[in-house]
Amino acid sequence: MFCLAVVVLKFLLLALDPSPKFYLGDSISYIWTALTGWIPEDRSYFYGFIVRWFALWTGSLTSLLILQTFLGAIIAITTGWVCRAYFGLSAKMAYLFGILCAIDPLQVTWERYLMTEICSLFVYTLVLQQSFAYLRSRKIATLLFIQVLSVLTFGFRTVFLIPVLVMAVALPVIAFCQARLDFLRHRVFWQHLAASVIAMFVLDQAYQRAYGFLTHREPAHLHAAGYFLLAICAPALQPQDATDPRLAKIIEQGDEFGLHNFDLRNEQRFIAGYLVDRWRRAEPNRVKSSKVATATALNTFRRDPVAVAGFAAKTFFILLHPAQMKRFAQWDLGNGILKDKELKFLAERFHWTGRADVASEPQTFVKWYYVAGTPWYLVVMLSPLLALALLILAADKRQAWLLFLHTTILMAATFLFATGPITRYLQPLSLLTLLMFAAAVRSIPPWTQMPGKRISQWLAPVRRWSKRPRPDRSAKLQSPLWPRSICSPVW
């Protein structure tokens, strides 16, 4: 009944707002991959094939939204399952967290967009569920399956790359670590650690080579990663950081295009006339320009790591302000104008006849709900503090460490590699926050042990005193040895 309720709820929400939505230019890149097999150099590409398999052959984007809605339902059901099976919550409480996951605006909204968010979160949810299963069973087959799922996860969304690489080492340590370091003497632990690291290394290399084969270039996780790093470090760049004199000259001329303006980092990456565009025109060779950009960004980080970390902290605190959070949530719903050729193939291949100006689309339920959910996003922003508190409160420290590492690493990667305050990046952290609240509820003593019950326990001696056995005075008053006058009702 719980599973049925989640599915019905999800499709009722889909019925309220069934129109597909676009986030330019990510959505067009995925559609182009579906149509031609082209692999973008600056985005993960797995989702493009999902669009091909579930939308192109049906000639409708609605079938893709149905798939994403169904995946959202599985995410919510899996959340309830984790709360019930691994956290030990009562059925009603576990189902409550499943329903909360189902109505999370960070999920409901992106189920309507042609974006990789829901597909990547679905695989990431399976990674988390299998990780909890591994902590309980410590089966090496489960550990290897987690590595396969991990590669699929960052194949859908690159932000998961660093967390899953770290967890390939950390997960066996968490599973075998006890209060002492005796586990280091156990051969089984080293077998699990070696299997996890080797499996991740082999699968990661296979992914990079497959990416290189499809793009007809060198193996890599993302060929445009260097441009992102360069844009992220842009306000801190100095000419001496550049490994190419042409890039050093562009940095010297940075005042012409606002190089040191923190708010223009996204423009430095994507907009013509800014840093990356100028550098790519100076060095047309994509391989060389990306390598120089990577080396320059790393030199900047080594020279001034505090400044680069400060950019991440500043982005974090911008979103932590309620008014700014609402503003960027509205901005994140999409903007831009579809080109004529894009409108043409959307109409021909998917029978879509929407407006060219994405921002001019009418206010729908999903858009309103996404902006109305900003108070919850502020709670998600504080999830590392909740993870830290869970380390102290949780009865099962292994589960607490798992959630703590996933949350802190993902939060750090999200803001360190973001070119601006973008609310949709909080989506996987929202799932982790719900799981941490569930684990915290499990760690709190049952309601029978709450203060009301403790007060009752303190008053127990008083109740026992009031109920102590007392002599039967009525029998004594009716004794024949006593005078009748004493036994009279008046007396």
Name which of 186, 182, 300 is nearest 248 in CA terms. 300
Decide: helix, strand or coil at residue 57.
coil
Cα separation, 164 vs 170, in Å, equals 9
Name which of 152, 205, 144, 211 is nearest 171 in CA terms. 144
Name which of 100, 385, 449 is nearest 393 in CA terms. 385
Cα separation, 278 vs 257, in Å, equals 10
Q: What is the DSSP string of 142-192?
A: HHHHHHHHHHHHHHH-GGGHHHHHHHHHHHHHHHH--SSSGGGG-HHHHHH
User: Chain-centre distance of CA 250, in angstroms?
Assistant: 36
pTM of the model: 0.88
Cα separation, 371 vs 329, in Å, equals 6
Q: What is the pLDDT of residue 442?
A: 81
Domain ranges of the chain: 2-223+311-443, 225-303
Q: What is the pLDDT of residue 179?
A: 58
Q: What is the pLDDT of residue 149?
A: 97
Count CB atoms within 10 A of the CB of residue 370.
23
Q: What is the pLDDT of residue 424?
A: 93
Q: What sign has the CA pseudo-torsion 196, 201, 202, 208?
A: positive
Cα separation, 308 vs 310, in Å, equals 5
Place of tokens 């996933």: 406
Tokens of 10: 């999800």
Name which of 274, 253, 250 is nearest 264 in CA terms. 274
User: What's the distance, Cα to Cα, between the start and end of the chain in Å?
Assistant: 70
User: Chain-centre distance of CA 375, in angstroms?
Assistant: 17
Tokens of 96: 């409550």
Name which of 429, 362, 436, 434 is nearest 394 in CA terms. 436
Residue 395 per-residue DSSP state: S
Are the C-beta atoms of 422 and 332 separated by less than 8 Å? yes
Cα separation, 182 vs 79, in Å, equals 33
Place of tokens 């605006």: 105
Q: How far, in Å, are 36, 141, 347 from residue 56 at the CA level?
A: 11, 36, 12
Name which of 158, 101, 159 is nearest 125 in CA terms. 101
Residue 359 per-residue DSSP state: G
Tokens of 116: 């990789």
Q: What sign has the CA pseudo-torsion 52, 55, 58, 60?
A: negative
Residue 36 makes CB contacts below 8 A (sequence gap 6+) with none
Tokens of 67: 């798939």
Place of tokens 């999370």: 104
Q: How far, in Å, are 276, 299, 399 from residue 280 at the CA level?
A: 6, 19, 46
Name which of 355, 414, 417, 330 is nearest 105 in CA terms. 330
Place of tokens 């060198």: 218
Residue 308 makes CB contacts below 8 A (sequence gap 6+) with 232, 233, 236, 300, 301, 416
Tokens of 191: 């077998």
Cα separation, 456 vs 466, in Å, equals 15
Q: What is the pLDDT of residue 264?
A: 94
| 354 cis-preceded (ω within 30 degrees of 0) | no
Are the C-beta atoms of 409 and 158 separated by less than 8 Å? no
Q: What sign has the CA pseudo-torsion 175, 144, 77, 437?
A: positive
Q: What is the pLDDT of residue 478?
A: 47
Dump strand ranges (E) for 222-305: none
Name which of 57, 71, 53 is nearest 11 in CA terms. 71
Q: Encode the chain (491 residues) as per-residue pLDDT tens digits.
A: 999 999 999 999 999 999 999 988 889 999 999 998 899 988 888 999 999 999 988 889 999 999 999 999 999 999 999 999 999 999 999 999 999 999 999 999 999 999 999 999 999 999 999 999 999 999 999 999 999 999 999 999 999 999 999 999 999 999 998 656 777 778 899 999 999 999 999 999 999 999 999 999 999 999 999 999 999 999 999 999 999 999 999 999 999 999 999 999 999 999 999 999 999 999 999 999 999 999 999 999 999 999 999 999 999 999 999 999 999 999 988 778 888 888 888 988 898 888 888 878 888 899 999 999 999 999 999 999 999 999 988 888 999 999 999 999 999 999 999 998 999 999 999 999 999 999 999 877 654 444 445 445 545 555 555 555 655 544 444 444 444 444 444 43
Tokens of 200: 């991740």
